[in-house]
Structure formats: structure tokens, C-alpha cells
């Protein structure tokens, strides 16, 4: 069933905190953005960390014009000034906000200029050399560090934070003790949004699905089937050309015989 579309503002999202859990999908193509909007997904995010991704952002915005879309900034922005430039560029291309896994210093620089910023807490894939790929916050000491980092994001001016692979009890506690919108990626149902990547939902990974994710379709098998069909179609085309069966009569453009005779006579 199609749900009515509402392109949220950050203000409206903040008013929804504690009222209901929002759905949130990371999309990677205009087709996925269009499908998410038609399905009624509340929030979307996308990459904005390469020239290709930056060129794709306007296409995603055009495909889902009534949707709130955040663009993830490049890893390793060297200065607050660079962060500000990247943030404004994302907004100019149609993003509703930006995501940044960098330090509160970078987030504060963007927030001071009025750029809506989403931070990151818990497992940060770009920083796994410090944590390895595991749940973060299972001990009291780690939980305290997470709480402190959350408060630092608040003070820096972020309006939200992705909370990745954190024990659900801790995630629920953090969500009720912050003004930030906490976006749960593998952190249970007690946050403000449920966040999944389209690759997980559509079942596109070769690897084992992460524990916190769920596949609702098997696009991997369907994509393999389509690739086999492409190869078969190309082979049939090659065979028909080699055997003289393509182009056939129905593929040809006919010229009136009299006109062709006139043309030949003009040359003679």
C-alpha cells in the first residue's frame, strides 16, 4: 500500500522523537530511491564520498523528490573548512542533511554554519582497526565511553547519530537520554529509526548476511539469472548474424522499387 509522502524537515524529525520509530534505508541508485519513496520509507541516506557518488546524488534526489535524503561525507576530511565546503556542496545538490563519521570538531564546524549533521556512534566501519568488527558497549566501561561520545556529538551540534551494533538495552537507554535522533543499525528497537542498507534488504551480498540485518528478497540469484540471460541473448545474436538470419525481412527498411530504379538511372 502506498503511503502519503512527506518530506520532513529536521525540525519535524526532532518533534517525532519518542513518538514513533521511523524507517530508514541507505540507497545506491535512482531505481532504489524511487522504490523507497513509493513504498513509503521515511528517511534515506546515500554515499557522497567519491566523484561518482557526488554525481549520482542529484539523480537520487530527482528520483525521490519528496524524501529526506542524507549524504555521507568522505572519510578523512582534513580540516573544518573542508568539511564545511563538502557539507554545503551536498546541500546544493539536493541533500537534506549530511552524515559524518569524523570527529566532533568537524561536525561542530558544519553545524555552526547551519548544516544538519548526523554523527556516528558504536561500531564505525572506517575505524575498525581500534575495535575490530564486533558489538561495542557490552562492558560498563565501553558503555560509559559511548555515553560520553554521544554527549560530545550533542555539544557539537549534531541533530542525529547512527548507532551501529550496540547492545539493545544500552541503545534504548542512550536514546531516552539524549536530544539526538539515534538511528539503530543493529542496535535494537529502542531507537528513533530502524536503519538498513538496501543491499541487505534485497539480498544482494555474496557474503553471509550480518546478524543484525534481514533479507526480504534474493536479488543475488535474480541478478545471476539475468546475467545468464544476457549471455544467452548475446550468443543467439552472434549466431544469427553469422548464419545470415539477422537482419531478417522484418528488420529491413524497404525502398519503393520505382524510386530505386530512378536513383539507378540517374547514376547511369
Q: State the burial class of residue 29 (Cβ atoms within 10 Å of its Cβ: 0-12, 13-18, 19+).
A: middle
The region that residue 201 occupies, defined by phi over 0 for left and psi between -120 and 50 for alpha, beta otherwise, is alpha
Cα separations in angstroms, 130 against 123, 134, 137, 150, 174 = 10, 11, 14, 18, 22
Per annotation, catalytic residue among 108, 154, 164, 243: 164
Enclosing H/E stretch for 144 = helix 140-156
Q: Is 164 a catalytic residue?
A: yes
What is the three-state SS of 57-82? HHHHHHHCCCCEEEEECCCCCCCHHH
Residue 30, number of CB atoms within 10 A of its CB? 16
Cα separations in angstroms, 84 against 114, 166, 263 = 10, 29, 68
Residue 241 to residue 217: CA distance in whole angstroms: 38
Of 17, 72, 45, nearest to 182 by C-alpha is 17
DSSP helix/strand/coil, 176? coil
Give the catalytic positions in this structure: 164
Amino acid at each position: 500500500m502506498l503511503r502519503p509522502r512527506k518530506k520532513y524537515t529536521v525540525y519535524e524529525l526532532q518533534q517525532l522523537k519518542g513518538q514513533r520509530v521511523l524507517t530508514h534505508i541507505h540507497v545506491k541508485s535512482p531505481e532504489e530511491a524511487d522504490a523507497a519513496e513509493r513504498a513509503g520509507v521515511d528517511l534515506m541516506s546515500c554515499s557522497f564520498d567519491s566523484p561518482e557518488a557526488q554525481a549520482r546524488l542529484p539523480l537520487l534526489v530527482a528520483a525521490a523528490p519528496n524524501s529526506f535524503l542524507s549524504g555521507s561525507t568522505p572519510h578523512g576530511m582534513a580540516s573544518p573548512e573542508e568539511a564545511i565546503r563538502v557539507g554545503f556542496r551536498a546541500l546544493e545538490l539536493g541533500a537534506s542533511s549530511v552524515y559524518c563519521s569524523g570527529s566532533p570538531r568537524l561536525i561542530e564546524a558544519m553545524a555552526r554554519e547551519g548544516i544538519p549533521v548526523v554523527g556516528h556512534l558504536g561500531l564505525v566501519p572506517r575505524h575498525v582497526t581500534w575495535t575490530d568488527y564486533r558489538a561495542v558497549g557490552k562492558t560498563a566501561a565501553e558503555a560509559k565511553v559511548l555515553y560520553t561520545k554521544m554527549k560530545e556529538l550533542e555539544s557539537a551540534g549534531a541533530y542525529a547519530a547512527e548507532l551501529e551494533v550496540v547492545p539493545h538495552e544500552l541503545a534504548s537507554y542512550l536514546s531516552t537520554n539524549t536530544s539526538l535522533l539515534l538511528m539503530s543499525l543493529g542496535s535494537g528497537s529502542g531507537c528513533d529509526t530502524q536503519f538498513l542498507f538496501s543491499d541487505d534488504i534485497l539480498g544482494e551480498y555474496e557474503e553471509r548476511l550480518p546478524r543484525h540485518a534481514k533479507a526480504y528478497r534474493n536479488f543475488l540469484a535474480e541478478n545471476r539469472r539475468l546475467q545468464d540471460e544476457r549471455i544467452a541473448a548475446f550468443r543467439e545474436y552472434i549466431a544469427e548474424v553469422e548464419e545470415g538470419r539477422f537482419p531478417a525481412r522484418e528488420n529491413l527498411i524497404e525502398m519503393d522499387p520505382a524510386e530505386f530504379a530512378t536513383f539507378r538511372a540517374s547514376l547511369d
